[in-house]
């Protein structure tokens, strides 16, 4: 469920025309970490855009997620240089340790995983990011240590 007040704050930044659809959805995604269904309905009404159009946009772009993302969003770089420096193996190592595939969130809601293209830190390939923190030259055996620092202590 979306907090109506926060949705109002977002809507108030825009004129309320069809071209605002993507920026509005981006703000909601940033605010909630995903696009809640009820919010999509409200947005469709307010921007006067068919709900089908809202869904087609929300599912076309990888930056949107219809499911809540994890507290820590893990990104594995799949750029060209990282690929040449063992990016595939790194990704497999992360998948195995988190137990989820790219696009999914762990059942406890702590981690979600995404593969991204070059994050511009090719000099340190292969690169892994957790939230805003970047880690370079990550070996498969380094993944556990990195993830451990983000896990909530029980």
Partner 1 sequence: MSKIEFPLVTRNLGAIDPESLEAYAAVGGYASLKRALTEMTSEAVLEAVDKSGLRGRGGGGFPTGRKWRFCREAPGEQKFIICNGSEGDPGAFLDRAVMEGDPHAIVEGMALGAYAIGAGQGFIYVGHEYPLAATRLRQAITAAREQGFLGEKILGTPFSFDIQVRRGAGAYVCGEETALINFIQGNIGEPRNRPPYPPQKGLWGQPTIINNVETWANVPVIINKGAEWFAAIGTKDSKGTKVFSVAGRVKKPGIVEVPMGTPLRQVIFDLGGGIKKDREFKAVITSGPGGGVLPKQFLDIPVEFESFQAAGGNLGSGSMVVMDDGCCMVDVARYFLEFSHEESCGKCTPCREGTKQLLKILTEITKGNGTEEDLGLMEELCATMAAASLCGLGQSAVNPVLSTLKYFREEYEAHVREKKCPALVCRPLLKYTVDPETCTGCLACLRECQVGAITGDVEEPQEIDQELCVKCGMCHAVCKFDAVKVES
Q: How far is the CB of 90 from ligand FES (least distance, A)?
A: 10
Scan residues 65-84 and list those touching ligand FES (CB under 6 A): 77, 79-82
Got the DSSP string for 102-122?
Answer: TT-B-TTSSEEEEEES--S-G
> Is 56 an interacting residue with respect to partner 1 (CB under 8 A)?
yes
Partner whose binding site includes residue 140, from ligand FES, partner 1, none (CB under 5 to 8 Å by kind): partner 1
DSSP structure class, residue 128: E
Q: How many residues bind partner 1 (CB under 8 A)?
A: 39
Choosing from 34, 69, 79, 128, the residue that interacts with partner 1 (CB under 8 A) is 79
Q: Name the residue with tokens 């820590």.
A: 72
Buried (b) or exposed (e) across 101-111, using 16+ Cβ within 10 A?
ebebbbeeebb
Q: Interface residues with partner 1 (CB under 8 A)?
A: 18-23, 25-26, 49, 53, 56-57, 60-64, 78-81, 83-84, 86, 89, 92-93, 96, 116-120, 122-123, 125, 139-141
């Amino acid at each position: 469920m979306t907090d109506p007040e926060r949705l109002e704050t977002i809507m108030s930044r825009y004129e309320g025309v069809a071209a605002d659809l993507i920026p509005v959805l981006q703000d909601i995604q940033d605010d909630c970490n995903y696009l809640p269904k009820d919010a999509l309905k409200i947005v469709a009404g307010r921007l006067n855009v068919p709900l089908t159009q809202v869904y087609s946009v929300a599912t076309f772009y990888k930056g949107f997620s219809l499911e809540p993302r994890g507290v820590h969003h893990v990104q594995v770089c799949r750029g060209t240089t990282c690929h040449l420096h063992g990016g595939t193996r790194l990704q497999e190592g992360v998948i195995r340790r988190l137990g989820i595939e790219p696009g999914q969130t762990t059942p406890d809601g702590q981690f979600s995983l995404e593969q991204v293209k070059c994050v511009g830190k090719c000099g340190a390939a292969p690169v892994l990011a957790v939230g805003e923190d970047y880690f370079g030259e990550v070996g498969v055996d380094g993944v556990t240590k990195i993830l451990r620092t983000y896990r909530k202590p029980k």
